[in-house]
Amino acid sequence: MHYTHPMRLLPLLFLTATLHAQWTLQTSNTTADLRGIHSLGDGVAWASGTNGTVLHTTDNGVHWLLCTVPPGAEKLDFRGIQAFDANTAIVMSSGPGDKSRLYKTTDTCKTWVDVFDDPDDKGFFDSLHRVTSKQMYLLGDPVGGKFSMFFTSDAGSTWYIADDPGLDAAKDAGAFAASNSAFTHLGNTLFFGTGGPLAAVYSTHAKCNSAAASQCAIVWQPTETPIAHGAAAAGVFSLAGRTTTSMSGKMSALLVAVGGTYDKPDDASASAAFSSDGGQNWTLSTTPPHGYRSAVAYDRNTGFWITVGPNGTDIATDDGRN
């Protein structure tokens, strides 16, 4: 789905010195609409947007450098980017058919290689997510009644179709290419959010035919959330999570989902929900963000969650409840 807004003044720097969100406007050196961003820490971050635009910084955004446009990408909309280090990144364009592409650079974007195009003319890339130093997943809108899923195990140079069970999609369902954050993972579990008739979160579990790990397959299971849904512009737009450990040593996964209705940016109802049991059950936030939200992230250093949208930003300090 592409009912999403561009973040025109991205990238921004979030300062967590106080409870209140403070933003410092940075000079991006481009007039492109920017949607994708990936911060690696130690001052390194990458961003992407319209007209084949890719930016990178190595000094926390004091200076953003404009990259060479990948070949043939002058009219592409780069809605997601995932980086490995200061030199290596993969950028994702979203659009119908072969307008959905992946380009990779290993030399700080001096040169680019087109590593993967959507193989289906009805396809549409939504989210690119790096899980390990070598493994990545790519989510696309449903084709033939199933969400499109692709993976790589060599840092994005070679891509394969992930024909996993459980990716069946409801009629008119889709994912959102809003901020490249509809897909996330915690430990060995993968998650992605959807919208349309249902606002669902899909998660993985292992289905094993024997005691041997090599005989285990990834199976997806959707769970409905109370996030706004029922229209093509409504649903779960972004997911983030963290793990918690009880006094007995038991580990659990806590997730926050945000979204709402894109074409009703000031409608705060059903715009955020949280799960304390790894996505099995979801509860609406008691005090929601004050409008539709396209991205959410968790900051381990402060314990803050921050979510952003067209009419502003919100912080939660209680795992998404308020």
Residues 279-322: tens digit of each pLDDT: 999 999 999 999 999 999 999 999 999 999 999 999 999 999 99
pLDDT score of 252: 84
Peptide linkage before 6 cis (omega within 30 of 0): no
Q: Give Cα 142 distance to the centre of its chain.
A: 17
pLDDT score of 207: 78
Which tokens sit at 135? 């493994």
pLDDT score of 137: 98
If phi > 0 it is left, if psi is from -120 to 50 it is alpha, else beta; for residue 106 that is alpha
Q: Which residue spans of the chain are classified as CATH 2.120.10.10? A: 26-163
Question: Is the distance from CB of 259 to CB of 199 less than 8 angstroms?
Answer: yes
Best CA proximity match to 33, nearest among 62, 8, 2: 8
Radius of gyration of the chain from Cα atoms? 19
Per-residue pLDDT in tens (0 to 9) along the chain, 322 residues: 655 544 433 334 444 334 565 889 999 999 999 999 999 999 999 999 999 999 999 999 999 999 999 999 999 999 999 999 999 999 999 999 999 999 999 999 999 999 999 999 999 999 999 999 999 999 999 999 999 999 999 999 999 999 899 999 999 999 999 999 999 999 999 999 999 999 999 999 887 776 655 667 899 999 999 999 999 999 999 999 999 887 787 888 999 999 999 999 999 999 999 999 999 999 999 999 999 999 999 999 999 999 999 999 999 999 999 9
pLDDT score of 215: 62
> What is the rounded CA–CA span in Å between residue 1 and residue 95?
9
Predicted model pTM: 0.91
Best CA proximity match to 148, nearest among 183, 113, 188: 183
Segment holding 44, helix H or strand E: strand 44-49
Looking at domain 26-163, its CATH class is mainly beta
SS3 98: helix
pLDDT score of 248: 80
